[in-house]
Amino acid sequence: MAIDWDKFDKEADRAIKAAGDRTDEKLASKISSVSRLTDEEIQELFPDPADVKRLKDLMKVVKSAGDRNAKINTIVSNAEEFGGVILTLLGKFA
């Protein structure tokens, strides 16, 4: 099933604004609905809503219809933004 990224973006952004200082259950649920991470894993890995927003943005790039090189270029161009999220994810899976 294809993901409606515009709808996902809007819903996730609303949850991010409502999250306050910690990633709340609703926000974690949004991310877990399009990933293989559970709500609990997302809350544990990304307690800061700003990091969840970065994760959402990174997932959007990875799942986009563009070719591999375009995705890599986008990630490299936004390395400062995505670096911490990538490091956290690799630490989880390594």
Q: pLDDT for 18-62, tens place per residue? A: 766 555 677 778 788 888 888 889 889 998 888 988 998 999 999
CB-neighbour burial class of residue 30 (10 A; exposed 0-12, middle 13-18, buried 19+) = buried
Task: Give the contacts of 63 (CB within 8 A, at least 6 positions apart).
Answer: 3, 5, 34
> What is the percent of the chain where pLDDT is above 90?
38
Task: Give the contacts of 11 (CB within 8 A, at least 6 positions apart).
Answer: 30
* Helix (H/G/I), strand (E/B), else coil: 31: helix
CB-neighbour burial class of residue 75 (10 A; exposed 0-12, middle 13-18, buried 19+) = middle
